[in-house]
Structure 1
Amino acid sequence: MQIGFIGLGVMGAPMAANLIAAGHTVHLHRVKESTEHLVEAGGHRAGSAADAAKEADVVILMLPDTPDVEEVLFGTDGVAGALRPGALVIDMSSISPVATRSFAERITGAGGGYLDAPVSGGDVGARAGTLTILAGGTTAAFERATPLLEVLGATITHVGDVGAGQTAKVANQIIVALTIQAVAEGLTFAGAAGVDPAVVREALMGGFASSRILEVHGQRMVDHNYDPGFRIRLHRKDLGLALGSARAMDLPLPHTASAHEFMNAAIAQGLGEADHSALHRVLGNAAGRAAK
């Protein structure tokens, strides 16, 4: 299949690599020095979003935020102006559900199809092709995308109409943020009480507190290894989407607001580019025991 892939960051680069390895022709936009290996592996360099889209049956986006998606789709040399009739746009970024519905309407009006399919699983899942994918769109669009999504993910769910995938992803980000905060607080408490957090983590992995976050991010906290991963500034963006949507529905999300403030503190301490497990370091700093 001819695929345009736009956005080659921590998540996008390994996702594109998996599509290339699966035998697809992948037109890559935003190739940098760190992603030249994708061209060496058989990907095709595209000078613009339009160049990536013009020969593509499917265009996949993996971008940081709502304005980035809008610019790539509808800006100068954007996807919409070069999209082949009937081509499918799959947005795997994590962005506003409201904006997603607007973008889908515009792409559909231009003769294309649209699926929002944000992911969970971090860089580990992106490399392994085991992401959780939350899809919103028509049944026809989902069925058409499924063979590609199966290259990228292990758990793929058609959540509902356009925007439903983004709504599910926002819910995911709420749960992940609060769980990371809980793990960070628990391990910080153990260390402050004079008990080895590594031993506590290992013990808790056999009990009711066990979780994928305790397993992966708990280990990052024990090791003080906060390389992305998923950057705190991007997770804060997702919680901002949650809080904005909640305000529109008059829905209280008090613990989400707390986690958002926690991430504000992390960014104020210069940790915006660190993995979200670095919330553990914020607690260490607050306790006067800055992480190494």
Structure 2
Amino acid sequence: MTTIAFLGLGIMGSPMAVHLAEAGHTVAGYNRTPDKTAPLVAAGGRAATSVADAVHGADVVAIMVPDSPDVRAVLTDPGGVLDSAAPGTLVTDFSSIRPDVTVELAGLAREQGLRYLDAPVSGGEAGAKAATLSIMVGGDGADVASARPLLETLGRTVVHVGPSGSGQTVKAANQLVVAGNIALLAEALLFLEAHGVDTTAALEVLGGGLAGSAVLVQKGEKMRTRSFDPGFRIALHHKDLGIVVDAARAAGVVTPVAALVAQLMASAVAAGDGGLDHSALLRTLERLSGR
């Protein structure tokens, strides 16, 4: 069994840390909001009082925080991972951040004798709770191999996609595909409602054909019933689409759909919907339709 520091116990990080503790690993969790450690403690883990406290003696440091500045702070602030982790520690960042920042931080970690993987996940809160996440991993192949037993405790699909930063690049592509699907599903639902169609029946038959998707299965009913408790917040998807647009521009790739959906997400945030599930993009399209 492995000693793990888990930094960031939010909607995604908390169930992931719980799975690791329930698998028999020794898990110390830290979150800036201390009461978020309660599920981990109930599963047999320990609530750490600081990043340094969590990291002390850990074989693996897992990170799941919202954005690039948060990962940088966890790693480089005084008392952070770079100050506290012993040489040889495997740092695995599950956060979704900019690929170029990941490459930079991986370099800093290696200068300190640490091993570093970027391992962003897809599947949302439901996938985190069910341990069925899709995990796209960037880093050295030997490090990926050593981390695989832990990763397979958390996810059903674990794929090494290339060197440092590759995991974040694939996650950005994932977020583009998901956002495009959500926007189209929202448009389709409003179209069906405007014509008085039985939307329950319509979503069932759409799901059985080429229009079927994981987005339709997981988000269709939330849209139909306007149930937008967050599984993955609009504010985070807005952030991720910013990563897509910036990285595409840097690579000279034209992504007109990404630009459009990024603007829709920005509109949702501006309208105060950033804390809702990303299926609430439907509300933005309702406003545009005057409905």
What TM-score do you get using the length of structure 2 for normalisation? 0.97
Choose which of 257, 260, 268 in structure 2 pairs with 1:258.
260
Pick which of 139-148 and 41-50 moved more.
Answer: 41-50
Match of 2:173 in 1: 171
**Contact conserved, 1:246 with 1:253, CA < 8 A, in 2?**
yes
* Structure 1 residue 207: Cα displacement: 1.1
* Structure 1 residue 77: Cα displacement: 1.4
2:128 counterpart letter in structure 1 = A
* Structure 1 residue 34: Cα displacement: 4.2
Q: Secondary structure at the match of 2:81?
A: coil
1:256 counterpart letter in structure 2 = A
Match of 2:186 in 1: 184
Match of 1:28 in 2: 29
1:76-115 mapped onto 2 (5 Å cutoff): 76-115=78-117
1:64 counterpart letter in structure 2 = P
Matched, 1:7 2:8: yes
1:65-84 mapped onto 2 (5 Å cutoff): 65-84=67-86
Q: Secondary structure at the match of 1:288?
A: coil
Choose which of 239, 243, 246 in structure 1 pairs with 2:241.
239
Q: How many residues align?
A: 289
Match of 2:158 in 1: 156
Q: Secondary structure at the match of 1:243?
A: helix
Choose which of 123, 138, 141 in structure 2 pairs with 1:139.
141
Question: Which ranges in structure 1 are unaligned for 5 or more consecutive residues?
Answer: none
1:130 counterpart letter in structure 2 = T
* Structure 1 residue 57: Cα displacement: 0.1
Q: Structure 2 CA distance, aligned partners of 1:40 and 1:10?
A: 16
Q: Structure 1 CA distance, aligned partners of 2:238 and 2:34?
A: 26
* Structure 1 residue 223: Cα displacement: 1.6
Q: Structure 1 CA distance, aligned partners of 2:43 and 2:131?
A: 17
Match of 2:225 in 1: 223
Match of 1:268 in 2: 270
Q: Deviations over 1:184-205 (max 9, x none)?
A: 1111111011212222111111
Q: Secondary structure at the match of 1:85?
A: coil
Q: Deviations over 1:26-72 (max 9, x none)?
A: 01111532441321321111111121111100000001000000000
* Structure 1 residue 260: Cα displacement: 0.6
**Contact conserved, 2:66 with 2:96, CA < 8 A, in 1?**
yes
CA RMSD of aligned residues (A): 1.0
Match of 2:289 in 1: 287
Q: Secondary structure at the match of 2:229?
A: coil
Q: Structure 2 CA distance, aligned partners of 1:288 and 1:242?
A: 29
Pick which of 72-81 and 190-199 moved more.
Answer: 190-199
Choose which of 126, 134, 137 in structure 1 pairs with 2:128.
126
Matched, 1:19 2:13: no
Q: Secondary structure at the match of 1:256?
A: helix
Closer, same or farther in 2 for the Cα pair 1:34/1:59, shift >3 Å?
closer
Match of 1:199 in 2: 201
* Structure 1 residue 249: Cα displacement: 1.7
Match of 2:42 in 1: 40
Q: Secondary structure at the match of 1:81?
A: helix
**Contact conserved, 1:188 with 1:197, CA < 8 A, in 2?**
no
1:178 counterpart letter in structure 2 = G
Identity of counterpart residues, as a percentage? 49
* Structure 1 residue 264: Cα displacement: 1.1
Q: Structure 1 CA distance, aligned partners of 2:246 and 2:140?
A: 26
**Contact conserved, 2:16 with 2:131, CA < 8 A, in 1?**
yes
* Structure 1 residue 262: Cα displacement: 0.4
Q: Structure 2 CA distance, aligned partners of 1:112 and 1:8?
A: 23
Question: Which ranges in structure 2 are unaligned for 5 or more consecutive residues?
Answer: none
* Structure 1 residue 8: Cα displacement: 0.5
Q: Structure 1 CA distance, aligned partners of 2:179 and 2:102?
A: 23
Closer, same or farther in 2 for the Cα pair 1:36/1:113, shift >3 Å?
same
Q: Secondary structure at the match of 1:270?
A: coil
